[in-house]
Chain A
Amino acid sequence: MNGITKLNRRQFLQAGIGSGAALALAVSAPPAKAALFAPPGEPKPAFAPNAFVSIGRDGQVTITVSRSEMGQGVRTSMAMLVAEELEVTWQQVRIEQATGHPKFGNQNTDGSRSVRTLFQPLRQAGAAAREMLERAAAKSWSCPPEECRGAGGEVHHKDGKRRLAYAKLAEAAAALELPENPKLKKHADFKIIGKDIKGVDVPDIVHGKARYGLDVTVPGMVYASVEHVPVVGATIESFSADEAKKVAGVLDVIKLDSAQPPVVFKPLGGLAVVAENSWAAFKGREKLEVKWNAGPNGAFDTEAFAKSMSETAKKPGHVVRTEGDVDAAFAAADQIVEGEYYVPLLAHASMEPPVATAWVKADSCEVWAPVQAPQRTRTMVAQMLGLEEDRVTVHVTLLGGGFGRKSKPDFVLEAVAVSKAVGKPVKVTWTREDDIRHDYYHSDSVQYLKAALGKDGKPTAWLHRTVFPSIGSTFSPEAKHGSEGELGLGFSNNPYAVPNVKLEVGEAAAHVRIGWLRAVCNIFHAFAINRFVDKCAATAKIDPLAYRLDLLGEPRDLVFSKEEESSPYKLNTGRLKKVLQVAADKAGWGKSTPKGQGRGIACHYSFHSYIAQVVHVEMKNGDPIVRRVDVAVDCGTVVNPDNVRAQMEGAVVFGLTLALNGMISAREGRVLQGNFDTYPMLRMPEMPEVQVHLIESDALPTGIGEPGVPPLAPALAAAIEAASGVAVDRLPVRPARV
């Protein structure tokens, strides 16, 4: 759901009027300056026609970005959209970060949709401002507005002689009516969109000046670290904080209630050690003595759970999609192919662990945190404290990675609880162990597939059962299986043309908190489907690329639900075939490789983007060394090409990390991994060469943050199989380190 689309255009363009946005700066800013927060006490901008644009009397152009920056480049690309239509140069722009507020429309930064859903509204916000400036110029020149045109931060008259800077027009423009229907530029006239624009925060980052959640300091602030309940739903039976309180610098120990189902975004609970600095808080934690009641999840064991999911996958589940008669086709089949695929629980492990600073005052609250959902955070903080929402301010810092973890404000609410208890501003920092052991994990899953192959080797019947604990379980303990939304992530929208199809979902209960992780259910669905297509192709003795191209059939739009009929974003098989072909061509698909080496290919459609990847692997002592990855991506109109390349490079690393090493396991309810020694990340020596190939397109822009992830694991598995003959059907490739 996107709030922006719920506001009509006029509401959107008026959003934030009179809200005292106070965003302009009195000082002149260097090129494309990035800031997070405007210093307090600044003069109101002369012209602020909507929540996203303001122009000061000094000409300072400020663009407010409403979505959260976690490395996906949104502060840059959103500002590009506004600047393009506002007709200012990139160097004139200053970027600020919105606090959580409904005036910005939906601020949830997830689902790879910021650019997709804001491509039109943000350009309109810029265009509306420009038209008003043009009309203000027309007024002062007493000419028709058609003779005036904004460009480079000035309005030019068509006589080529007269021009007025936006700064001079700002006040007059502010008095004018908002345009009903601001005119947008043709794609061919874009000056900023489509160019390689560097990340706006990069200069601050390389000088150590960028501010993340971890870097917040508030006068009088104390520090805290929380010994969380070891199992979700566990409670404290007894505890002693005496020794902890003796640690130099420790100020207090606070008991936090433990979250009971539905856990939603409630703080997990445990004991908060409050101290004069982070280190003292960590040391204090080591001295706590606690006896826990493990509660109903205390027997959870990931290995046993995987077995139970496998049992479930062998039996019929709830039918999600059916075409033709699979049973009859299986009965009549020449050849049957079966496969079972497993992907374990995964943790986000963003480089910056969860961290939040909260200051609960008498009748208000302020928080500073790296959150992907500032409005949700604001609402939940207000509810928790019994305050009106307008008494709560959520400042969004840069996120040191998010990947979906920071969509859940549990760690912010935790800081609020501690601040309320101590009556001071407090920063709660999670350790890496807290992060890995108390995540909202990516579901573990078992996928079962069965196909009947005809004489030509093509499937005549296709049965796929997916089993995984649903994200819905976090919100309602009754959620027994994957939701429609989760199943739409690469399962129910399987694009392969098979006459008889049956797709089923099996039940699986959750014993840990389950949540969104970059690409979500697409990860295990893409893994299983690509692996299984390879298996069918191998059985049929057909090249896996040719097999896929054939199975995708004629280029056409596919529709999987009623809502999709009117959607501008339909899965087009021709676009998926195109990325397959490009990735294959660029990677030298079909050319022979030396012994012990091999290539694998996979494709996947997600977040309305089309991605294919070819992985080239060399086996060394049974371990795969990834030499090269070719990525072909069709994400429609490309707003910032270099950023798309960066996201694909990053997705390759994310995919390799999960495929090679990603595994969270639990015994007696407790997660065994804790830090990067047991939950390893890909490192520099393992980095392959990544080649990204962008498909030129003027279709609507679609997602780039997530879609690069799903094809990597199956392409890697296929490459390993090609190089070594070993079929990888369970992830991760390498054995666990616990």
Chain B
Amino acid sequence: MTNKNIKVNGKTHSVEADPKMPLLWVLRDLLGLTGTKFGCGAAHCGACTVHLDGVAVRSCVLPLEAVGDGTITTIEGLSEKGDHPLQRAWIEHNVPQCGYCQAGQIMSAAALLASSPEPKDEDIDTAMAGNICRCGTYQRIRAAIKTAAKETGAKP
């Protein structure tokens, strides 16, 4: 057990946990941030994707001790007003079916747009290949990413 401060969505939390506990369970069970999901526990599905210093990571395999001083962003903190271009595009394209994978999808897509504001199809394939959607919403995810990219790309 260690006592550790972690920064999540702009707030610092003090947690007491096994340093090997994956960030996913720290977020969900200790901090009550349940927007990030569990799908495989083995970095196969992307349901648990969050940002560590802006980079998409699979929180199910990221031990608490590896977070260091890094800044964590989860779906709950992706945008202050809930109006990230991807969130709006996801609504516009009515992307989700069951919705369970979508937090992870959006977090992966957000990291993609941050590093490549006008992604090509191949970029989307690569960035999103780690996120499974069992309901099969890939076509809409691709369309929504393009809509959001257009909007962010249009900004100066």
**Interface positions of A (Cβ within 8 A of B):** 69-73, 196, 198-199, 201-203, 205-212, 214-215, 217, 223, 248-249, 277-280, 282-283, 349-353, 398-403, 429, 431-432, 642, 646-647, 649-654, 675-677, 681-685, 687, 689-690
Contact = CB atoms under 8 A, between A and B. Distances in A.
Given A73-B97, A279-B21, A207 B35 contact: yes
A467 B103 CA distance: 42
B50 to A, nearest CB: 10
A351 B39 CA distance: 6
Given A208-B35, A277-B21, 4 more contacts: A206-B82, A351-B132, A400-B99, A431-B41
B142 A684 contact: yes
A-side interface mostly: loop
A681 B46 CA distance: 12
A277 B128 contact: no
Contacts of A653: 133, 135-136, 138
Contact of A351 (B25, B33, B133): B133
Contacts of B94: 196, 198-199, 202, 642, 646
Given A280-B18, A432-B42, A201 B99 contact: yes
Interface string B66-80: 000000001110000
A199 B86 CA distance: 17
Per CB-CB distance, the 5 closest pairs between chain A and chain B, nearest first, are A208-B35, A653-B136, A400-B100, A71-B98, A71-B97
A202 B89 CA distance: 11
Contact of A214 (B37, B135, B138): B37
Contacts of A651: 136
Contacts of B75: 206-208
A675 B35 contact: no
Contacts of A398: 98-100
Nearest to B97: A71
A195 to B, nearest CB: 12
A528 B32 CA distance: 49
A215 B28 CA distance: 8
B91 A646 contact: no
Interface in B91-141: 91, 94-103, 106, 124-126, 128-141
Contacts of B44: 432, 675-677
Contacts of B76: 207-209
Given A350-B134, A687-B142, A400 B37 contact: yes
Contacts of B17: 277
Range, interface on chain B? 35 or more
Contacts, number: 192
Contact of B1 (A198, A214, A248, A681): A248
A313 to B, nearest CB: 31
Contacts of A675: 40-42, 44
B135 A351 contact: yes
Given A208-B75, A279-B25, A401-B98, A203 B91 contact: yes
Contacts of B34: 208, 211, 214-215, 217
Given A650-B137, A683-B132, A209 B35 contact: yes
Nearest to A400: B100
Given A248-B1, A649-B140, A684-B138, A71 B99 contact: yes
A69 B97 CA distance: 9
Nearest to B42: A675
B25, B32, B39, most chain A CB atoms within 10 A: B39
A163 B63 CA distance: 63
B111 to A, nearest CB: 14
B47 interface: yes
Contacts of B30: 277
Contacts of A399: 98
A211 B133 CA distance: 18
20 contacts: A198-B91, A199-B99, A206-B96, A208-B34, A208-B75, A209-B76, A217-B34, A248-B1, A279-B29, A353-B39, A398-B98, A400-B37, A400-B98, A653-B133, A653-B136, A675-B40, A675-B42, A676-B42, A676-B45, A684-B129
Nearest to B130: A683
A400 B134 CA distance: 9
A684 B91 contact: no
B25 A277 contact: yes
B22, B40, B76, B132, most chain A CB atoms within 10 A: B40
A217 B32 contact: yes
B80 to A, nearest CB: 11
Contacts of B36: 208
